[in-house]
Structure 1
């Protein structure tokens, strides 16, 4: 885990080698809970028997479930001291580039692309996030994540 002391320290890392999160295993229970919360019960996510004969050979995580893991990835990749609050501000250019079969281990590589001052002693950070599946050649999700942090 990378530790930054201040928002100014974060700003100094724009464009440098990114940070990497811990691995996280996607379980069927997570997939089922996400389906329950969102109402997306498509069989490729929740019907184990039907999914065995489907295009992926098993159930797969919802793309939006993968995207919703970004806060967990951020939390294990870095910490910024002397910040009183942070909020998700939005996303740009989100793509789900490969499936996430149940049981997959995922981690995220994040590179800070921009860090701009905003009102109330804050910074808006733009992160390029690439979520990787262990053993896969290409990422499962690529997105620009916007966060706002306040000192």
Structure 2
């Protein structure tokens, strides 16, 4: 995993650049349960391994799609470092899809490309194409365009 390191103005030069792929992240039942507690989303397909194994079409518990999505900022930070920066913020998402489930006990990683970069007041806004892969899925588990702003 190589990290691209740049300044806020340097982001403008990275438009269209593949940022790389992260190391793998373990998706444990503990991580899923903590996310369920944080979001009050205790649907049984996430937090009840016995029932999920017996009754769900997934054969066991799966991570929340939004858990996968919530890891994007951390994962993008592993492939892109902006220094110095006074502040970086999540600005939003253009598109998000969850094409495949993330089974508990699997691993995920991000492959990212910086699609665009444009000046905004006091900084630069970037759009990152994020494809999250799972070691136990044939297709991506999350595909998104994440928008971040970095300020000088």
Whether these two folds match at TM > 0.5 is yes
Q: What do residues 13-54 of structure 1 show as CA deviations (whole Å, max 9, x unaligned)?
A: 211233222210011111111111111111100111101112
TM-score normalised per structure 2: 0.93
In structure 1, C-alpha distance between the alignment counterparts of 2:79 and 2:57, rounded to whole Å: 33
2:45 aligns with 44
1:66 aligns with 68
1:146 aligns with 147
- Structure 2 unmatched ranges of 5 or more: none
In structure 2, C-alpha distance between the alignment counterparts of 1:65 and 1:2, rounded to whole Å: 23
User: Does the 8 A contact of 2:5 with 2:81 survive in 1?
Assistant: yes
Structure 2 SS opposite 1:12: helix
In structure 1, C-alpha distance between the alignment counterparts of 2:31 and 2:136, rounded to whole Å: 21
Among 67, 88, 98, the alignment partner of 2:100 is: 98
In structure 2, C-alpha distance between the alignment counterparts of 1:135 and 1:42, rounded to whole Å: 22
CA shift, 1:126, in A, is: 0.5
Q: What do residues 34-88 of structure 1 show as CA deviations (whole Å, max 9, x unaligned)?
A: 1111111111001111011121111000001110011220122221222121000
TM-score normalised per structure 1: 0.93
In structure 1, C-alpha distance between the alignment counterparts of 2:77 and 2:15, rounded to whole Å: 19
User: Does the 8 A contact of 2:108 with 2:134 survive in 1?
Assistant: yes
Aligned residues: 150
